[in-house]
Amino acid sequence: MRDPAVPAHPFGPAQPGGGAQGQPAIPSDGEWRRLHPLSPLLRGGLFVLVLFGIIVANLRDQVISLVIGNSSWNQSPENGGIDYIFEHGLVVVALLVVAGIIALVILFSWLSYRFAQFRIADDAVELRRGVLFKQHRRAPLDRIQAVDLQRQLLARVLGLTQVEVQTAGQGGKLTLAYLGHRDAQAVREQILRLVRAQTAGTASADPAAVDPAAAAAAEGTAGTADATATADAQSGSRLRNALDLESRVTDFADDDVDQGARMSGTLVTVPLGRLVGSIVLGWGFLVAIVLVGVIGGFVIAGHPAALAGLIPIVIASVAVIVSHFNRGFGFTLSRSDDAIRIGAGLTATRTETIPFARVHAVDVRQPLLWKPFGWWQVRITLAGNATNGSDGQKVAGIVLPVGTLDDAVRVTQTILGDRNFFAASGGGAEGPLSYAVLRDGIAGAGGGYLGAGPRSGLVLWAARRRTGIAVTEPGPGSPHTLALIRRGVLTRGYALVPLARAQSVLLHRTFFHRALGLARVRVHTVFGPVPTEIAGLELDHARRLFEQLAAQAVAAQRDDVAGTPR
């Protein structure tokens, strides 16, 4: 029988083979543990890729000379080092030097692994690392905003996953790179469970610690797991290898979606054809095509030197396209009681868990070329480390890469709405976040909005008719006081800002606005991608709006602190 003073294992018993690499589940009793043994391979492998890129960049001119047949192309002084190696037969020496550098990198990566440890305590997640220069990072549970999982292609092949613990404040990310995939999932759930328990004032986040039946069940399952592990050890290496391969394939294809959300049919997904079409019709892709066409014209006109400018453009364009594709491939969005979970990726996957309280603004936008297809994108501004994403997904704050208007409305309702109301009414029959109100604000005429001034066409151009702002009180389907902002023509946008999250309100007048008797009003939030400013308002209207927003923001934040969010 387990000692009641010792918490039950937070993840249940260790399964035969553990995680993707046979690593046991992670304890939360404050014990220091190392990361996965294959972590140095990934760190060394990334350096090898960088080194390969440097070599390819230095051989660029030789490749171009082969393509255009110009033997004088690579005779410039800049290529002396590469030419000298080939001319003097030092290729073997150069390869040995490169191999030595790679060996040193792997050695230092291994030493870094040996001196890197982490633990999950009752009040914080901690990581310490370093050989010569020690570093100890501590993320208190009451400061943790979210826990994300990131899997690059090589990490997926090896069955590994990187855990990113997001905390409030710039540069507050604590990264565990790497853990077995199942262990990483268990770490995420354990941290989030501890955070929820601390927020709710629960003494223990372990169900077995407060439920004797659960503890007994855990012990019984542990005995079964031990017996299974013994039988597996006796079955021979061939069977174990087959089981490991099956586990590896399962982990590689895991989309990390909540089973409850999968069964309830509440997921938002992005079809592959729509994703590809949105990339092709995006501004970045079209600009890249124009630049490639211009440079190709120079080459055809007899200026082969323009090829030197074509290579970096192609590389950058491919990188952007791959990033956008990864951001939307296999995209799924599910919802829990206090957060949304987003998963996407092909060569690199990322799973983000975003608590509703972190959302400071929502933006529904539509580029011009998406309009005939009725496609929209949803972005959010997040508190904490939302601008430090390593793959661009978090930088953009995208929670729906591309979707229909219905998808955009559903995602917006999910992020900002009263979940109990939506569960009861099937999506909100009335109120500021009802389907009809959101659809009219996003894509309709936008009745009831304070519009731009009569002389604002000189600063807003064609966007004057669409520009408008409305302030809503809390009502059915929405626990928030919201500022709703319509803007744009070439790229139409619709921003929703909960005033309880506003940092300040600004009334601003540029030179042209002063000359025309107009003003701008901005609701400041934490730094993020969502524009929260409306321009071209008549000065008197702007002043009244400024006073209204300031007063309602103060009231909303006072009620939010008191426990009745507006």
Statement: residue 388 has pLDDT above 60? no
Task: Tell me what pLDDT residue 98 has.
Answer: 78
Q: Residue 450: its pLDDT value, please? A: 95
- Given a cut of 70, is residue 220 above it in pLDDT? no
Ranked by mean pLDDT, which of 76-90, 205-219, 326-340, 404-418 comes out on top? 404-418
Is the predicted pLDDT of residue 433 greater than 50, yes or no?
yes
Q: Do both 413 and 319 map to the same domain?
A: no
| pLDDT per residue as tens digits for the range 3-48 | 443 333 333 333 333 333 444 445 555 788 888 888 877 766 666 6
Predicted local confidence at residue 229, as pLDDT: 43
What pLDDT is attached to residue 493? 96
The answer to whether residue 19 sits within a structural domain is no
91 & 226 share domain: no
Strands, sheet with 33-34, edge to edge from the N-terminal-most edge strand: 33-34, 117-120, 124-129, 135-140
Helix axes 91-114, 39-58, angle to 10 degrees: 150
146 and 201 assigned to the same domain: yes
The pLDDT tens digits of the residues spanning 80-116 come to 556 666 677 777 887 888 788 878 877 887 887 888 8
The answer to the question of residue 527 being in a domain is yes
d(CA 527, CA 63): 44
Strand 504-508 vs strand 491-498: parallel, antiparallel, or unpaired? unpaired
Of 354, 351, 346, give the one whose Cα is nearest residue 380.
Answer: 354
CATH of the domain at 220: 2.30.29.30
Q: Are residues 375 and 304 in the same domain?
A: no
Measured N-to-C along each axis, helices 39-58 and 60-68 cross at an angle, to the nearest 10 degrees, of: 50
Which of 254, 288, 304 is a domain's end point?
254
Tell whether 312 and 347 lie within a shared domain: no
Q: Can you count the helices (H) and strands (E) in the chain?
A: 20, 21
**Beta pairing, strands 33-34 & 117-120:** antiparallel
SS3 state of residue 432: coil
Residue 20 lies in a domain: no
Residues 128 and 87 in one domain: no
Residues 317 and 406 in one domain: no
CB 156 within 8 A of CB 252: yes
**Number of domains forming the structure of the chain:** 4
Instruction: Judge whether 26 lies within some domain.
Output: no
Residues 363 and 491 in one domain: yes
What confidence score (pLDDT) does residue 536 get? Answer: 95
* 448 and 501 co-located in one domain: yes
The verdict on 235 and 311 lying in the same domain is: no
Residue 93 belongs to domain spanning: 43-113
Residue 54 lies inside a defined structural domain of this protein: yes
Whether the CA torsion 22, 25, 31, 33 is positive or negative: it is positive
Q: Is residue 204 part of a domain?
A: yes
Of the candidate ranges 2-16, 198-212, 433-447, the one whose mean pLDDT is the lowest: 2-16
Indicate if 203 and 316 belong to the same structural domain.
no
Does 552 fall in a domain? Answer: yes
C-alpha–C-alpha distance, residues 143 and 257, integer Å? 25
* Residue 447 counted as domain residue: yes
Three-state SS letters, 22-54: CCCCCCCCCCCEECCCCHHHHHHHHHHHHHHHH
Average the pLDDT over 250-267 and give the result. 54
The pLDDT of residue 321: 86
Question: Which two structure tokens, joined as six digits, stand for 142?
Answer: 């009451």
What is residue 396's predicted lDDT score, i.e. its pLDDT?
Answer: 59
Name, in order, each residue with C-beta under 8 angstroms of 418's C-beta and a sequence gap of 6 or more: 476, 477, 478, 479
Averaged pLDDT, 332-342: 82
Q: What is the pLDDT of residue 300?
A: 84
Element (H, E) at 57: helix 39-58
